[in-house]
């Protein structure tokens, strides 16, 4: 993970670094998502913290990360993408 200060939690700065790293690693792929600008990153981080910080402490700990992943997987199964 991207827990730079090794406190077992992700804060907004660490989330920005994780998202930036993902985009850097995948930018060469065809159909890669565009690199978000500063405003888009801020919105993304705010949304992640709001949705995934279940205890409201301003961080995403490993348990919250796992719980959020499970919720997203369940949502994806319940709403599969439409094939064209």
Q: How far apart are CA 14 and CA 73, in angstroms?
A: 23
Structure tokens at 71: 């919720």
Domain ranges for the chain: 9-78
| Segment (H or E) for 60 | strand 60-61
Q: Does domain 9-78 have CATH number 1.10.238.10?
A: yes
Determine the pLDDT at residue 32.
74
Q: How does pLDDT run across 6-62, given as a tens digit for each residue?
A: 999 999 999 999 888 888 887 777 777 788 889 999 999 999 999 999 999 999 999
**What's the whole-model pTM score?**
0.75
User: What is the distance of C-alpha 81 from the center of its chain?
Assistant: 20
């Amino acid at each position: 993970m991207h827990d730079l200060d090794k406190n077992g939690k992700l804060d907004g700065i660490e989330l920005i670094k994780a998202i930036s790293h993902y985009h850097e690693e995948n930018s060469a792929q065809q159909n890669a998502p565009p690199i978000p600008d500063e405003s888009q990153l801020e919105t993304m981080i705010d949304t992640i913290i709001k949705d995934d910080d279940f205890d409201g402490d301003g961080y995403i700990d490993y348990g919250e990360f796992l719980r959020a992943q499970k919720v997203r997987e369940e949502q994806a199964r319940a709403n599969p993408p439409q094939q064209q």
